[in-house]
Amino acid sequence: MDNIAGKKSSLSIATHLSVLALVLIWLIPTVGLLVSSFRDRDQISASGWWQAPFSVELTFRTAAGGDAAQIDGDWVLSGNIFDDPELQETFGSGAGQVTAFSVSAFDPRAAVAGTEIETRDGAMLTVNPDGTYRLVSAEEPSGTQRIYFAAKTPPQFTLANYRQVLTADNMDRAFINTMTVTIPATIIPILIAAFAAYALAWMDFPGRGWLIAAVVGLLVVPLQLALVPMLNFHNSIGVGQSFLGIWFAHTAFGMPLAVYLLRNYMVGLPRDIIESAKVDGATDFQVFTKIVLPLSLPALAAFSIFQFLWTWNDLLVAKVFLPSSDDAKVMTVKIADDLLGSRGGDWGILATAAFVSIAVPLVVFFTMQRFLVRGLLAGSVK
Amino acid sequence: MHPFLSGIVTILIGVGGCVAYFYFSNLVLDKVIFPAQGPRAGHNINRANQWRPWLFLFPAIFVLGLYLVYPVVGSFLRSLYNRAGDEFIGLGNYATLFGSEAFRQAFLNNLLWVIFVPAAATFFGLIAAQLTDRLSWGNIAKSLIFMPMAISFVGASLIWKFVYAVDGDIGLINAIRAALFGSEPVDVLQIPFWNNFFLMFILVWIQTGFCMVILSAALRGIPEETVEAAIIDGANPFQVFFKIKVPQIMPTIVVVWTTVTVLVLKVFDIVYAMTGGNFGTEILPSYMMSFMFRDDGRATAVAFVIMVVVLPVMVWNIVQARREMR
């Protein structure tokens, strides 16, 4: 409509560019997390994730040893530092390139590759960019000479972080716990809410308007209010901090949105169908199960997605209503309390754990987006 | 029994129980209490239909009452007692709260959140909705901006921890600063006052997609004639947007704004995961969690303060809902 009457919008390019900028700002942090989770841990701390496709300069140490040969009165020890079996894994064959070297652990980049430096024993050491070295000394060398060097390593992508997070860090247990919390807490409220929504949408009784207003009001009651009284209540009826308790809590906390969303959708169903069914002698129960429920599937799907995302991503309710022992931790608690605390600096593990926890919601989001949008609109736009 | 198995059993019991409740209670109402036969059949049918709505509503009203209505009263009563819960101290907890520097800080920070986050999220959402409206790749762009909605607050915090990190090889901000200005890395989460905005932006990042989706639908609902008429009268695109479109979708903007406002008052995860409330970033929900399990009296008092802050929004929502039903 911006270009009617043959007036082409001159803002077109600006629009494209600003949307592109917005999308990039919104997308880049997540991409960073994803890339980081696949990178080798040494490389993560040596270069930014945006440099992941390029080689990274890391420092290594190796030892020059073996038999020295006597040439022109000097003892010469030569070889290639990349022949070290421990380094083979990082560099593969012939991929490494030395940039600097030294004989001191404190400053591995003291000398540029190709130059000559003096070791503590008075020998002269040269390391070339291709990894060949030459150690020349006046006396027969005893023992081995440590060489510290910096070399460009090829970019490395690995599943090691995932292996560690999923096996060693109890994240597998947390993943199952999250599923255990989420699935019942998503399914159980639906039926309860659907009946209530039908009553509020299509049955006439005194006080209906007030009940709908109450549901709207309860939508915004802060969860925090319920924490202390309900935990005390759970303790007094013997549920305590347990999965049973958190299922109850999530069912109740999701209820206002469920009733509100489903009622808004059901009210919009065509009146003729429902009234003609009633004229034909259908009871309310039949109208609900045979007509309204099947027609409301999109709204039911939308609410399920909301409730699924909300319970999967929840931290607050899980911290309060689940025991704090390790075998009952859900992923959000695990990440916020364990990994961020003790593993604050281990970026590879953090990125991987975060990605494991957001992977399922992202899949749900991208496959069910249509329903999600429809549900949002049913709730807010009249 | 493994929790996962008990989860499956709970699903079966829960769903089965619900179905059984609705079916049998309905059956009992129609066949036993008010049978639709005999001399009073007509009367009974009417009576049964009067009772049925409450049958349908009962489970929902029960859980709502227990978990959301009772706690409003329960929390308030509990907040009038001391830490152990055995001594009535009146408004003592509130007096202690308002006397403490930490609470005032949390309260002011929270005000900042309530003002900035909904405003920024609605603004970006509106911009994104308008710009993507007629773009060939608009749906892809929308979908990507909407994506953070699926990510947990903890996950989002971690994502942005990478961006904010001090280490120039991890943190994008410090890397860009170093590349452009050669400046020393700073920890943006420790800059007094402004660190709050870095935390708020995480929530803006999450919520913009929500605002965009709803506002985008509202923009599409605008009658085309009004826009056409404005263009024919010589309005430029900015005038069309600000003077024709925005006023028409104002009700939706208000709905979006209040929805985000209410959400802001629930989110404690971001502060908890990013700074733990240190460096002057405490907000009420995270302040409340610092008393949870330690001092129920004060925890409930903070929760009730949050409730009081939400109250105007709640009243406004109810008034709107009542008006729409008329």
Query: Rounded to whole angstroms, how far apart are CA atoms B303 and B326?
Result: 34
Q: Crossing angle for the helix pair A224-236 and B70-78, nearest 10 degrees?
A: 90
Contact A176 B262 (CB under 8 A): no
Q: Do the beta carbons of residue B2 and residue A173 sit within 8 Å? A: no
Contact B158 A218 (CB under 8 A): no
Nearest to B3 among A180, A350, A382 (CB): A180
pLDDT of residue A361: 92
pLDDT tens digits, one per residue of B32-72: 877 777 777 777 777 878 888 888 889 999 999 999 999 99
Segment of A43-47, A371-375, B204-208 carrying the highest mean pLDDT: B204-208
pLDDT of residue A138: 77
Mean pLDDT of B252-264: 88
Q: Scan residues 210-229 of B and list those with Cβ closer than 8 Å to A.
A: 210, 213-214, 217-218, 221, 224, 227-228
pLDDT of residue A5: 46
pLDDT tens digits, one per residue of A19-36: 899 999 899 888 888 888
Chain B positions in Cβ-Cβ contact with residue A350 (cut-off 8 Å): 158, 161
Query: Rounded to whole angstroms, how far apart are CA atoms B180 and B159?
Result: 23
Is residue A162 very low, low, confident or very high in pLDDT (cuts 50, 70, 90)?
A: confident
Helix (H, G, I), strand (E, B) or coil at B292: coil
pLDDT tens digits, one per residue of B141-169: 988 999 998 999 999 998 998 888 887 77
Nearest to A361 among B150, B158, B237 (CB): B150
Work out the mean pLDDT of chain A and round it to a whole number: 82
Work out the mean pLDDT of chain B and round it to a whole number: 87
Beta bridge partners of A112: A100
User: Does the structure show a pLDDT above 80 at A204?
Assistant: yes
CB of B83 within 8 Å of a chain A CB? The answer is: no
Query: Rounded to whole angstroms, how far apart are CA atoms A258 and A245?
Result: 20
pLDDT tens digits, one per residue of B281-316: 889 988 888 888 888 888 999 999 999 988 988 898
The dihedral sign for the CA sequence A77, A78, A79, A82: positive
Rounded to 5°, angle at Cα A140 from A134 and A145: 50
pLDDT tens digits, one per residue of B70-86: 999 988 888 888 887 78
| CATH of span A161-380 | 1.10.3720.10
Q: Do the beta carbons of residue B80 and residue B93 sit within 8 Å? A: yes
pLDDT tens digits, one per residue of A61-100: 777 777 777 777 778 888 777 777 777 666 665 567 777 7
Is residue B3 very low, low, confident or very high in pLDDT (cuts 50, 70, 90)?
A: low
Which range is least confidently modeled, A324-333, B82-91, B235-244, B271-280? Answer: B82-91
- The structural domains of chain B, with segments of one domain joined by +, span 3-78, 97-325
Distance from CA of B158 to the nearest CA of A (A): 7
More confidently predicted of A152 and A163: A163
Q: Crossing angle for the helix pair A208-218 and B41-64, nearest 10 degrees?
A: 10
- Token pair recorded at residue A295: 């027609």
Query: Rounded to whole angstroms, how far apart are CA atoms B170 and A47?
Result: 7
Chain B positions in Cβ-Cβ contact with residue A255 (cut-off 8 Å): 60, 63-64, 67-68
Query: Rounded to whole angstroms, how far apart are CA atoms A124 and A117?
Result: 6
- The structural domains of chain A, with segments of one domain joined by +, span 12-51, 56-153, 161-380
CB of B175 within 8 Å of a chain A CB? The answer is: yes
Is residue B326 very low, low, confident or very high in pLDDT (cuts 50, 70, 90)?
A: low
Nearest to A218 among B68, B292, B299 (CB): B68
More confidently predicted of A263 and A157: A263
The dihedral sign for the CA sequence B21, B24, B27, B33: negative
DSSP B46-92: HHHHHHHHHHHHHHHHHHHIIIIIHHHHHHHHHTTB-TTS-SB-TTH
pLDDT tens digits, one per residue of B112-147: 999 999 999 999 999 999 988 888 888 889 889 999
User: Does the structure show a pLDDT above 90 at B208?
Assistant: yes
Mean pLDDT of B181-191: 82
Rounded to 5°, angle at Cα A219 from B142 and B77: 145
pLDDT of residue A379: 60
Amino acid identity, position A7: K
pLDDT of residue B119: 95
Residue matched to tokens 């990605």: A355
Which range is least confidently modeled, A105-119, A199-213, A262-276, B187-201? Answer: A105-119
Long-range contacts of B16-20 (CB under 8 A, 24+ apart): B18/A188, B18/A191, B18/A192, B18/B59, B19/A191
The architecture in CATH of the region B97-325 reads: Orthogonal Bundle (1.10)
Query: Rounded to whole angstroms, how far apart are CA atoms A23 and A18?
Result: 9
pLDDT tens digits, one per residue of A166-186: 887 788 888 888 988 898 889
- Token pair recorded at residue B177: 């600063």
Which strand ranges, in their side-by-side order, compose the sheet holding A145-153?
A56-64, A145-153, A97-102, A111-112
Compute how many other C-beta atoms are within 10 angstroms of the C-beta atom of residue B104. Answer: 12
| A&B contacts, CB < 8 Å | 346
Contact A22 B131 (CB under 8 A): yes
Q: Do the beta carbons of residue B63 and residue A251 sit within 8 Å? A: yes
Contact B318 A217 (CB under 8 A): yes
Q: What are phi and psi of A72, to 5 degrees?
A: 55, 40
User: Does the structure show a pLDDT above 90 at A308?
Assistant: yes
Chain B positions in Cβ-Cβ contact with residue A247 (cut-off 8 Å): 7, 10, 14
Mean pLDDT of B247-276: 88
Is residue A382 very low, low, confident or very high in pLDDT (cuts 50, 70, 90)?
A: very low
- Token pair recorded at residue B1: 């029994």
> SS3 string of chain A?
CCCCCCCCCCCHHHHHHHHHHHHHHHHHHHHHHHHHHCECHHHHHHCCHHHCCCCEEEEEEEEECCCCEEECCEEEEEEEHHHCHHHHHHHCCCCCEEEEEECCCCCCCCEECCCEEECCCCCEEEECCCCEEEEEECCCCCCCEEEEEEEEECCCECCHHHHHHHHHCCHHHHHHHHHHHHHHHHHHHHHHHHHHHHHHHHCCCCCHHHHHHHHHHHCCCCCHHHHHHHHHHHHHCCCCCCHHHHHHHHHHHHHHHHHHHHHHHHHCCCHHHHHHHHHCCCCHHHHHHHHHHHHCHHHHHHHHHHHHHHHHHCCHHHHHHCCCCHHHCCHHHHHHHHHHHHCCCCHHHHHHHHHHHHHHHHHHHHHHHHHHHHHHHHHHCC
Query: Rounded to whole angstroms, how far apart are CA atoms B268 and B273?
Result: 9
pLDDT tens digits, one per residue of A237-293: 888 888 888 988 999 999 998 998 898 888 888 889 888 998 888 888 888 888 999
pLDDT of residue B62: 93
CB of B112 within 8 Å of a chain A CB? The answer is: no
